[in-house]
Amino acid sequence: MTEEPLNPYAAPVSDIGPVQPPVSDAARIRREHIAHETSLKNVGILYYLGGLFAAFVVIGFVIMFVSQRRQVVGPQEFLIMLFVTGVYGAIGALLFVSGYGMRRLQRWVKIPAGFLSGLGLLAVPCGTLINGYILYLIFSRKGTVILSEEYQEIIRQTPGTKCKTSPVTLAIALVLLAVLVATIAWTVLRSSTV
């Protein structure tokens, strides 16, 4: 067997292999689902804001209870106020729990978030559209994958891949929070002058 002579004009040859390392299955699955994951986490922010609003409503009702203690309130009106306060308190607690589960992509969040979104469908037309989209995010194929135990392991295997909340979502959340705070401040100031 004869050895070929060395060609000084030939392109260099190396054994370094491919330039980019092969992508793991976990990284590929995470990249395929990252936009949907971000949307689910953004729903968690909305649930937190809704829970905050419900908490302020409950606080307002408690203040009404205390201020009307001196006035004559019939037992029927008292029971109605108590019932409404309890409903808002329960919904607020469910919103906070759902927000927590959504932000952490927990599997159990499908039940409380599905219940809340099912109720939200009754708020025609905007509530129907928003809650229909939330139900799609939760129960679609990608939502089912993301809200699974296996996906939690994928998240642990891909610490460098992060969800980024869009500036538009943050701006909307801040505007909603500012409107909520302004409404509460206006209500408190107005009630103190009456």
CA 163, 166, 170: angle at the middle one, nearest 5? 115
3 within a domain of the structure (yes/no) = no
Q: Tell me, what's the pLDDT at 16?
A: 63
Inside any domain, residue 6: no
Residue 135 near residue 117 (C-beta atoms within 8 A) = yes
122 part of a folded domain: yes
Tell me if 179 is assigned to some domain.
yes
Structural domain count of the chain: 1
Q: How far apart are CA 78 and CA 191, in angstroms?
A: 20
Which pLDDT belongs to residue 39?
A: 92
Q: Where are the alpha helices (DSSP H) in 68-160?
A: 75-103, 110-120, 126-139, 141-146, 149-157
Q: What is the mean pLDDT of each run of 10 residues along the chain (194 residues)?
A: 74 63 80 93 92 89 73 75 91 97 96 95 89 95 96 92 78 77 73 62
User: Is 16 among the domain residues?
Assistant: no
Q: Which two tokens stand for residue 66?
A: 């205390």
**Residue 193's pLDDT is what?**
65
Is residue 116 included in any domain, yes or no?
yes
| Tokens describing residue 34 | 């990252």
- Asked whether 47 and 131 are in contact (CB, 8 A), the reply is no
For the CA atoms of 41, 42, 47, 49, the dihedral, rounded to the nearest 10 degrees, stands at: 130
Q: Is residue 22 assigned to a domain?
A: no
Cα gap 114→93, rounded to integer Å: 15
Decide: helix, strand or coil at residue 14.
coil
Terminal alpha carbon distance of the chain = 107
Is 86 domain-assigned? Answer: yes
The Cα-based distances of 85 to 36, 62, 66, 91, 181 in angstroms read 35, 8, 13, 10, 20
Q: Structural domain of residue 62, as residue ranges?
A: 32-151+164-193
- Amino acid of residue 103: R
* Residues, the chain: 194
